[in-house]
Structure 1
Amino acid sequence: MNLKGKTVLVTGGASGIGLEAVKQFLSIGANVIITGRNQVKLDAAKNKYPAITAIQSDAGNKADAQSLFNKVKELGGIDILYNNAAVLVPPSNLGVANEKHIEGAGYEMEVNYLGVLRLNNLFLDMLKSRNEAAIINTTSILSQAPSLIEATYSSSKTALAFYTISLREHLRIIGSKVKVFELIPPLVATEMTADRNDKKISTEEMVKGLIKGLSKNQYTIRVGDAKIFNLVNRILPKIAFNIINPKKNHHLLKN
């Protein structure tokens, strides 16, 4: 897929992987629109990259999604919808048998899964009208082997992974040219993972891997350790499970 000249909407584009994507997409000649909840971060991103358009919007809010679509349509539309926004409720709030567990799970599912479906549904006809268009859904290696301390986050990403496969096949059956990519990252060094001491890759490496996969029309894009983890999980699933759930984290399950 050729990104030059394409207009890309990046959700959660004001920080982390999303902001790095802005930098790299612009460098190869794409036009970029970003959205996020935090206006201060959006303003900072706009100051850093004046060529972008920044629109405040909550990925888990139905009214915001419709408003975002209307604004993007007024701007002339997009060629690529990059569903990058996600939330992770801290493990300390997710003891299995309490109300915070339910609230946290609902919040993660609303943003990480239902929010993606909502935007895809809104933008699909627009994308179908383009000569070359794509949807990028960001899942996780945790959709392959769940994290015990991030169980509901893992579940939201698993739901998204299955939906992504189904959406791709559905569009193929009806003859649509819209490409559906699944981006499967390993642990990436962002604000969300700042308290983790595990091995991480940089946002720069993450986005380089994404762009390389897009350029090759590689519909399932695994970056960094996500590649070897996929192989381990297929051959030795118990070892893969233990990689995600080392004994050093077991104390967190006793809260």
Structure 2
Amino acid sequence: MNLNGKTILITGGGSGIGLEAARQFLQIGSKVIITGRNQQKLDAAKKAYPTLVCLQSDAGNEKDAFALFEKVKELGGIDILYNNAGVGVPPKNLGIANDAHLKGATYEMEVNYLGVIRLNNLFMEMLKSRKESAIINTTSILSMVPSLVEATYSASKVALAFYTKSLREHLKITGTRVKVFELLPPLVDTDMVADRDDKKISTKQLIKGLIQGLKKDQYTIRVGDSRLIYIFSRFFPKFTFGLINPKKINLTLRS
């Protein structure tokens, strides 16, 4: 896929993975629109990269999604929709049979899964009208092997992974030119996991892998340990489950 000159919309672009993606896409000649809930982060991103277009929008909010679509249409539309925004609710303990657990799971599903479908549906006709266009959905290493302390987050990413594969094949069958990519990151060094001592990769390394995959039309893009986990999970599922879930787990890791 040719990325030079393409206009890309990145959700959750105010910091972390999204902001690094904006930086690297700008470097290769793309036009970039980012969204985020935090206006201060968007203002800081605009100051760092003046050519960015920054729009405040919550990826899990239906009204925001419709408003975002109208703003983007006024700006001339996009060629690539990068569904980067995602949330993970910190588990406080294994007492999962409670209202707080259900509320957290609902929030994760609304942002990580339903919010992606909502935006894809809104922008689909716009993307279909372009000569070359794409959707990028960010799933996770945990869509291959679940985490005991991130069970509902893992489930939301599994749902997105299955939806992404189905959407890709559906669009092929109907003769649509929209390409559908799946990015499977391992643990990435962002503020969301700053308190974890696990092995992490940098946002720079992740996005470099993403862009390489896009240029090669590699529809499933696994970066870092996601490649190994994919292979191990197929041939050694119990061993791989143990890699993701050590015997001793700190249940208050992200309180």
Pairwise same-fold verdict (TM > 0.5) = yes
User: In the alignment, which residue of structure 2 is the partner of 1:79?
Assistant: 79
**Maintained 8 Å contact 2:20/2:204:** yes
**Maintained 8 Å contact 1:149/1:252:** no
Give the Cα separation in 2 of the matches to 1:251 and 1:29.
44
Give the Cα separation in 1 of the matches to 2:227 and 2:163.
21
Q: What is the letter of the counterpart of residue 104 of structure 1?
A: G
- Which range moved further: 241-250 or 81-90? 241-250
Residues 218, 206 of structure 1: alpha-carbon distance in 2 compared, 3 angstrom cutoff: same
User: In the alignment, which residue of structure 1 is the partner of 2:38?
Assistant: 38
Q: What is the letter of the counterpart of residue 234 of structure 1?
A: R
Segments of structure 2 that go 5 or more residues without pairing to the other structure are none
Give the Cα separation in 1 of the matches to 2:125 and 2:143.
28
Please tell me the root mean square deviation across aligned C-alpha atoms, in Å. 1.3
Give the Cα separation in 2 of the matches to 1:91 and 1:198.
17
Segments of structure 1 that go 5 or more residues without pairing to the other structure are none
User: In the alignment, which residue of structure 1 is the partner of 2:98?
Assistant: 98
**Maintained 8 Å contact 2:147/2:244:** yes
Give the Cα separation in 2 of the matches to 1:167 and 1:126.
16
Counterpart mapping for 1:144-163 below 5 A = 144-163=144-163
Give the match's secondary structure for 2:59.
coil
What percentage of aligned pairs have identical amino acids?
70
Deviation at 1:196, TM superposition (A): 1.1
Residues 252, 238 of structure 1: alpha-carbon distance in 2 compared, 3 angstrom cutoff: farther
- Which range moved further: 43-52 or 94-103? 94-103
Give the Cα separation in 2 of the matches to 1:194 and 1:89.
15
**Maintained 8 Å contact 1:8/1:80:** yes
Give the match's secondary structure for 2:22.
helix
TM-score, normalised by the number of residues in structure 2: 0.97
Task: Please list every run of at least 4 consecutive aligned residues from structure 1 whose deviation after the TM superposition is greater than 2 angstroms.
Answer: 250-253
Give the Cα separation in 2 of the matches to 1:235 and 1:88.
29
What is the count of residue pairs matched by the alignment?
Answer: 254
User: In the alignment, which residue of structure 2 is the partner of 1:211?
Assistant: 211
